[in-house]
Amino acid sequence: MYTGAGKMLQISDNESGYDPELFCIPKHYVEDLERVFIPHGLIMDRTERMARDITKEMGGAHIVVLCVLKGGYKFFADLLDYIKALNRNQDESLPMTIDFIRLKSYCNDQTVEEVKVIGGDDLCTLAGKNVLIVEDIVETGRTMKKLLTLLENYKPQMVKVASLLLKRTPRSSGYRPDFVGFEIPDKFVVGYALDYNEYFRDLNHICVISEKGRQKYKV
């Protein structure tokens, strides 16, 4: 791993991860994981640094933090905890309110052609506001582009995107978020609220799912 351009941790294509037996894994997932890819402690440390970067860049004005459900909820909660800690311990603070939207673009481990936007009926309150979208992972970028296009209709003053993960994939549209935790290879990862058909959200680490796990939870 190394720190690349854009203040993110880039994980190389040949990164093999770690043996799950070296970590605390829920027993019901032990046989479903190939490798631990990003341990929970590293996620938390990187999230804390992202909170500092976001506060520095967006501080000075009230922001609306928009969580993309369901996968973004854990990153969202931890990121806000770190921002709130900074607010308590610094001379300047970042006033925040929160809102939620849900997008659906996966079936099994494949993106679907149509991205479904669920919710957003009250997004008119974003007019004239500074908005921070918090997402778990950006892969092709199509889902985020759809959300950004949707938000344009409500005329916010500014919109920034913070994503825990950015996937390097030939399917990418070229879109890159403003704040990124980790740039990862083209692997399907689960854990830390990222799911495979709603499973693995209760796993602390970000892991690569095994073929046995794919078949076990396939719909």
Triad 125, 143, 199: Cα angle to 5°: 100
Burial of 3 (0-12, 13-18, 19+ CB in 10 A): exposed
pLDDT digits 0-9 by tens, 135-146? 999 999 988 988
- Pairing of the two strands 110-118 and 96-107: antiparallel
SS3 14: coil
The reported pLDDT for the residue numbered 1 is: 42
Entry pTM:
0.88
pLDDT digits 0-9 by tens, 41-56? 999 999 999 999 999 9
Structural tokens at position 156: 């916010």
Q: Where residue 20 falls among pLDDT bands split at 50, 70, 90?
A: very high
Number of domains in the chain: 1
* Cα distance between residue 183 and residue 4, in whole Å: 9
What's the CATH code of the domain at 113? 3.40.50.2020
* Cα distance between residue 68 and residue 45, in whole Å: 21
- Domain of residue 200 covers 2-216
Buried b (16+ CB within 10 A) or exposed e, 122-156: ebeebeebbbbbbbbbbbbbbbbebbeeebeebeb
Burial of 81 (0-12, 13-18, 19+ CB in 10 A): middle
